[in-house]
Structure 1
């Protein structure tokens, strides 16, 4: 699919195109329980919010092509964060202040209405330069949005002196002590990232509050998609830096997603970080955004792709690109961030089970009932006499994705070098494998591995490690096998297919 004309963009045009073309996409690699676009291109999650009894997810969307293009806001909702229903397009680039794209942003409810705060990319000026400004749209029903007459509500004139007018984007709005605030990504004059803070009493009239956090030359060249929240007594700032330098096993992707933990001085309105950490040690995770739901859970969802990669569904002409991760609940426990999956739950009525306990020693074997390409694999393995365990996922005669645990190093890894279609990147080394060291040593390994048509997400059951990776097998690949050196005692092994 490609752009058919240079006709002005509109919500009506986008919705008509989706209706006419969504039936023609190739579903071969379409994920089943991950949010994906009906057609076209998807990137950053936007406006992740609870409204009128449902979880709403907006996203960066180019309906007319499976490549990045003039950004719209796609829209879907869910009641369980597993099954997603497509809704009409929320925003199209149809005004002078957003003609070149409705870039990323966020959502908040106020007085029963849903407000979207987003970045508009302006028409080019006389020098051919596009500025980035912050804009507002409002809805009473959560479906139909009107852009306010005051747009842009945060113009370039509201920028501090040392901030780019070109790289100024991705507002994340929140409320604190009766005042609305938004963190906005910005590039400083010294080519480093920074997060700006603005404040408002009514979401319409905004004023500059502070440089919330300023980066240095060792922390990348631009920080995107900031998100601020308080989690179990800690102030947390998530952002996605470009070119954050590699540090051992951390930050091996050219672009990363980072959690800074610290405290805000609300007198100066500045964030003082105490630590930084990478959120995901897989190969495809970017631009996460979070919400707090009515159960008090801090839930985060990210784009399950990475800039600089090739996109097989576009290259193959399948008519769509991009998915979101499954949502995760974030917790701060024992001085650490923990991430727990919200998705398929192991179901004893619909899975293979081991009974009695199965033991493998220096062998490669399959387990009856454990196979599939779309579902949840759960494992509990006694590793007291183990050297190394490799789990071969999405396996056929020639292809596999391998998740491994090295007992001596207490290290978890993922390798997609033989998973199917080759995925290339802008990194110095091919983006085919990553690893992460687990902190607490134990004689048990517990994993929850979520498989879908083109993705593998590995969660260590204590919540301390997550690895998200895309895979594209070229042939039917439903096999799962286990290979160990030393002894692996499987106390639990189940596969629950997605239904």
Structure 2
């Protein structure tokens, strides 16, 4: 299918050129986040640090701002902050992936960079077919497809996708997100496969599944699983679909979270704790991690959620939609996965403003130098009265509210879908700090050193740059703010 591949690449390149001026004219275009050059971006794929270069592939629809037969777009970076657009890695050009090169992962093997991904197919009857596929590259830029390496095992629906691959001892392992029908209902699960050469795979069984005694009811499909060892724990990271809201939890259409425990590969068993949400914001899904040559576990997430008001994003008028999170480093602290911005983000800082040890009592406060569209802000809470309500208003469009008595932190925003105020919340033992990254229309806030994270898109008036603080009760704060350099031309 070489001709089809070349035709799709040419069409995608023409789309980039045709809409470049329109895309770049959008006032909500981001300064330091990874975005598509045109069209729709979603799941991060194939994240790997290979031969000194970070490779970030992603699900990409270049022809419109809706979903469809996905390509794999490709960026590379030497430092995790400046990204270079590379030739398209994969196109949906073959019989086994004609309706989409779906999500997957990258590994190094025999000096080559190899991609494992899901080929999505709709047959003549409109029924879904799914295939796990392999592509290889000598230079990390140009890929040769090797075709199907694993087909759907019995007992599972064709919602069987998103392989994450790693090597342990002399074997390769692959965890896949899956769905099975059980007593008339659909249950999500993560399954495990094994190989010696990445080309022939043996199905081993289920690592964890919704409906089991150790998991309980956890949705009808698990997408984008990622299994890795960190700080003495094995972590299964995945995105279940079909969870109902419970208190402050599970208020997006679909969720992302993790379970900590110990994996027994020989027994195909995962001893684990409860499922925990990874991000409390409005838009975060399908993250993927890699281990870099510094020994860091690095994560990127998609700042979006499938089937959640995508048609209402204002950037669609400028022929693009969605972005990646900033890169985050992971740690396990006290049985919880903690996320922090990678150290490299500090290289973007300029024009530091420091306002130390400010005491606030029943007042609103605004500083002329504390504002902007692309900024980093570090707020340390040095003291807070037991009855205090602390607020931070961001560009008159989003607001963080912490209620000391209830120990509840809430993010409110004006919905871009219907204009009303909507909120997401979590409970804290106390509020110690808010570390905020604001980038025109993307907001990422790391709470208490990454104990909780809120990731969301916001679309304020472009000229509105104010940050306003308010306290009912008493507080003492230490505030640092930096403008952040743009990493795109």
Please confirm whether the aligned pair reaches a TM-score higher than 0.5, indicating the same fold: yes
Q: Describe the superposition over 1:251-309 as per-residue Cα deviations: whole angstroms up to 9, x where unpaired.
A: 12120001011111222122222221000011100001000111111111110011222
Gap change, CA 1:30 and 1:423, over 3 Å in 2: farther
1:212 corresponds, among 175, 195, 207, to: 207
Q: Given the alignment, which residue of 480, 485, 488 partners 1:493? A: 480
388, 404, 426: which one aligns with 1:407: 404
Change (3 A) 1:423 1:29: farther
- Is 1:182 aligned to 2:187, yes or no? no
Tell me what 2:329 maps to.
Answer: 329
Shift of residue 213, structure 1, vs aligned partner: 1.5
Shift of 1:349: 5.7
**Which structure 2 segments of 5+ residues have no match?**
none
8 Å contact from structure 2 (residues 77, 83) kept in 1: yes
* Deviation per residue, 1:368-389 (Å, 9 max, x gap): 4111111101111223336011
Q: Say if 1:133 and 1:314 are closer, same or farther in 2 by CA, change over 3 A.
A: farther
Matches within 5 A, 1:381-460: 381-385=381-385, 387-395=388-396, 400-417=397-414, 421-422=416-417, 432-439=422-429, 441=430, 445-460=432-447
Contact residue 41 and residue 65 of structure 1 kept, 8 A = yes
Deviations 1:435-458 (A, max 9, x none): 11123x4xx621110101111111
- Do the aligned partners of 1:346 and 1:496 also contact (CA within 8 Å) in 2? no
Q: Whole-Å Cα distance in 2 between the matches of residues 316 and 348 of structure 1?
A: 30
Aligned counterpart, 2:126? 128
Partner of 1:427: none
1:22 shift after superposition: 2.5
Partners of 1:16 and 1:206 lie apart in 2 by 38
Secondary structure of the residue aligned to 2:88 is strand
Q: 3-state DSSP class of the match of 1:483?
A: strand
Q: In structure 1, what is the equivalent of residue 12 of structure 2?
A: 14
Output one character per residue of 1:204-263: Cα deviation in whole Å (capped at 9) or x when no partner.
111112212121272111110000001111111011011223222121212000101111
Q: 1:195 corresponds to which residue?
A: 190
TM-score (norm. length: structure 2): 0.91
Q: Say which SS state the counterpart of residue 175 (structure 2) adopts.
A: strand
- TM-score, with structure 1 as normaliser: 0.90
- Deviation string for 1:43-71 (max 9, x for gaps)? 10100111221111000000011111210
Whether contact under 8 Å (1:303, 1:323) holds in the other structure is yes
Secondary structure at the aligned position of 2:436 is classed as strand
Q: State the secondary structure of the residue aligned to 1:416.
A: strand
- Which range moved further: 14-23 or 339-348? 339-348
> When you count strand as a share of all residues, which structure comes out higher?
2
| 2:373 matches 1:379 | no
Once the 2 structures are TM-superposed, how far is the Cα of residue 83 of structure 1 from its aligned partner? 2.1
Output the CA distance in 1 between the equivalents of 2:189 and 2:251.
21
Distance 1:89 1:337 in 2: 33
| SS of residue paired to 2:225 | strand
Equivalent residue, structure 2, for 1:484: 471
Tell me: CA distance 1:314–1:350, structure 2 relative to 1, closer, same or farther (3 Å).
Answer: closer
